[in-house]
A and B are shown apart, each in its own frame.
Chain A
Amino acid sequence: MIHGSRTRRLSAVTFAVALVTLAAGCSSSKKSTPAASTPAPAATSSSAPAATSAPAATSAPAATSAPAATSAPAVSAAPAGIKKGLVVYFIPKDTQNPYEVIADKGGAAALAELGGKVVVSSGTADTAAAQIPSIQAAIQAKADAIVIAGNDPSALCPSLAQAQAAGIKVVSFDSDVTCPSHLFINQANTEQIGTSEVDLLAKEINSTGQIAILSAAATATNQNAWIGYMKSQLAKYPNMKLVSTVYGNDDPATSLTVLQGLLSAYPNLAGIISPTTVGISTAAQYLDNHKSLLSKLTLTGLGLPSQMKTYVNDGTVKAFELWNPSDLGYLAGYAAAQAASGTDITTAGATFAAGKLNTYTVLPAANGTGPSVVLGPPTVFDKSNVNDFAF
């Protein structure tokens, strides 16, 4: 028994040591964070890569320090200017999604221009419950604003209402929430995305032949809205026929399976539109390995330049579209800073300045979406520009 208890004590000590080591590991890795984050954005979204990757560099690198100043006289709607030292919490769907990481960096760049900082915080799973601790952290840190991409339209409302009650301004982007009184930053007009993809494909296949859609989940709201507009736009091209819509669930393996099924069911397929980054990159990889198909089949859709670069450069894919996620985050960052500085950004018709992106006018609430602004038309990427984008 004596031996036993000694071993127990030993194990308890070992355990405590191990725990302390764990904790120390965390605290030491953290030690660098506040130091870096006081003047600049948090370490997770350090400003250095943002500066190099942001397509912003192409627009006006020299003017980065002065956009507020240059746009202020042009935009009289920006009343008192933007407060210094604002803290904006960016709460993406999760912290690993590459698309959201780029958007967060765009937001960090915006706040860096304005003398504030961005803290990126979220969970690892795409659930509302995983985002709530981040909202709570923003409340406790007395943040000035929250920019959130909601994993659930309504489940975040109680927490966001708490945040608003604590004086925190709320802006949503990428994926809207239904709570009242906030601005939604829409990445692109739904109709524009649907119609422009059909137009893009029509141009490449001479407006003739069987086409199919490789979508994400059958239940995805945004996908279905785009597909709806694609169908109505197809009415303008009588020689193009939509033969099938298949769903790859944003999973590469599933996307590949349904793509192969599609190709064997319709051997004369002339075009595929895949309005999802997972679908288009999977399809592009498949076509890259089966180049004989390329003589009659054209692929387009929504993709990330970083993933699609290889396939565009070797001719597998001629062109695809996407909005610029970095600009999306940048705009959200400006909107949040404006709101936190007292600018009205939730009344239809109100305008606010957004740095290098100029001025935005708030659109009235419609179709269940509250007040919103639209980032702009989607960008078309092809051989001429795909290498210029690092996201």
Chain B
Amino acid sequence: MSFDLATAPPRLDQAGSVRPSWRVLVRWETALVFIFVGALFFGASESPHFMTRTDVFFIGLNMGEIAIMALPLTLIVMTGEIDLSVAAMLGLSSTLLGYLYQNHWPIWLAMAAVLVIGAVGGAFNGFLVTKLGLPSIAVTIGTLALFRGIAEIVLGAKSVVNFPTKFTNIGVKPIPHTELSYSAGIFIVLAVVYGVVLHATPAGRSMIAIGLQSEAAFFAGIRVKRIKFVLYTLSGVVCAFAGILWTYRLSSSRYDNGLGLELDVVAIVLFGGVSIFGGRGSIFGVVIAVLVFGSLKEALTLMNISAQAQNIVTGGLLLISVILPNVADSLRRVRARAGLRA
């Protein structure tokens, strides 16, 4: 059995502590950076309006909420779980904000209440996954329908508009002296925070350990359930926050806000090199994936490529990012076996 240690990249280094395989990460992210550069050249060659000052603002505007929701999802996927209810939570939060505002709640109080509801919804996911031990994909498909359903009951087919201009301005004005949308600015700050937590704290290392081998992590004294519970709760809060941003950006609260966005969010996380089986990935990869997605989509829109064709590109990227690592894995195994025979 010695070949296993020698050829298949071991997930434990010599010292025996659990660590992500940096080499692997660097490879994937290097490829992503090249793809991003390629996308920039591609966009610039196809449209004179690509990556102009206004365009940078528009890309930030269009990608902001999706990018923000990708961060907590990254951590959840790192632990080997999934949260498909992110966009439904965005819709629920948007609806509640509108409902409370319509009922004359002070806007700040309404926003705080929405964040609390986000935490409750996220904790509900966490409870079902950790305390009842249900598979997260089933749980969050359930809450996807549940959150969206509650949103539909709260507002029905109505929409709430006329939010204060100082808030809705985030949909038309960049952060002063920059070309960044407010949502993009918030994403950058959050990405730094998430990056530090995941890659430079014991908590982050615990998440990676859980994703690599949940049971081993448990026996190593890591509080697997508690960490997962906290991650789901956090995801609820962040998605509720994204819902607030979405509501102000479109200056409209509707139950179908953000319908179907979960696919984009999951696609970005996987394309960013986060393994769907957990344990592998980085915030940097996800950030680059956001950039690639945003610039490719914008380039295709500027070229007036139909939205259907754009979906093919998105779907293609998602498939590639899931298939390639697996193909690489099996290739490696075949080679290892060949090497043994020789």
Contact = CB atoms under 8 A, between A and B. Distances in A.
Given A124-B307, A154-B251, A158-B249, A27 B27 contact: no
Contacts, number: 159
Given A8-B27, A19-B35, A124-B308, A140 B49 contact: yes
A246 to B, nearest CB: 18
Given A3-B339, A139-B54, A11 B325 contact: yes
Contact of A158 (B42, B46, B58, B250): B250
B62 A219 contact: no
A339 B157 CA distance: 33
B307 A219 contact: no
Contacts of B324: 11, 14-15
A156 B249 CA distance: 10
B309 interface: yes
A75 to B, nearest CB: 33
Contact of B250 (A26, A96, A129): A129
B309 A29 contact: yes
B302 interface: yes
A16 B31 contact: yes
A121 to B, nearest CB: 5
Contacts of A5: 23, 27
A8 B24 contact: yes
Nearest to A96: B308
Contacts of B156: 219
Contacts of A124: 307-308, 311
Interface residues of B, number: 66
Interface string B232-260: 00000000000000100111101011111
Nearest to B57: A136
A123 B250 contact: no
Contact of B307 (A16, A122, A178): A122
A123 B264 CA distance: 14
A161 interface: yes
Contact of A152 (B9, B254, B325, B339): B254
Contacts of B249: 158
A190 to B, nearest CB: 18
A4 B171 contact: no
A30 B305 contact: yes
Contacts of B307: 94-95, 122-124, 130
Contacts of A8: 23-24, 27-28, 328
Nearest to A133: B301
A120 B9 CA distance: 51
A120 B62 CA distance: 20
B159 A121 contact: no
B30 interface: yes
B161 A154 contact: yes
Contacts of A1: 7, 9, 23
A125 B38 contact: no
Interface string A108-145: 00000000000111111101111011101101110000
B324 to A, nearest CB: 5
A158 B304 contact: no
Contacts of A195: none
Interface residues of A, number: 60
Given A33-B304, A122-B307, A157-B251, A20 B31 contact: no
Contacts of A26: 300, 303, 305, 309, 313
Contact of B303 (A14, A19, A20, A30): A30
Contacts of B46: 27, 30
A18 B327 CA distance: 14
B62 A132 contact: yes
Interface string B68-92: 0000000000000000000000000
A22 to B, nearest CB: 5
Contacts of B8: 4
A380 interface: no
A157 B251 CA distance: 8
B178 interface: no
Contacts of A141: 49, 302
A137 B304 contact: yes
B50 to A, nearest CB: 9
A133 B300 CA distance: 10
Interface string B304-325: 1111110101001100100011
26 contacts: A1-B9, A7-B332, A8-B24, A10-B331, A16-B34, A19-B320, A22-B317, A23-B39, A30-B46, A33-B303, A95-B308, A96-B308, A122-B307, A124-B307, A133-B301, A139-B54, A140-B49, A140-B54, A141-B302, A152-B159, A152-B254, A158-B249, A158-B250, A159-B171, A159-B172, A162-B172
Given A27-B42, A129-B250, 18 more contacts: A3-B339, A4-B8, A4-B9, A4-B24, A7-B331, A8-B23, A8-B24, A8-B27, A14-B324, A19-B35, A26-B309, A95-B308, A121-B301, A132-B61, A136-B61, A137-B304, A141-B49, A154-B252
Instruction: Name the 5 nearest CB pairs between A and B, nearest first.
Output: A219-B157, A155-B252, A140-B49, A12-B31, A155-B250
Interface of A: 1, 3-5, 7-12, 14-16, 18-20, 22-23, 26-27, 29-30, 33, 42, 44, 94-96, 119-125, 127-130, 132-134, 136-137, 139-141, 152-159, 161-162, 178, 217, 219
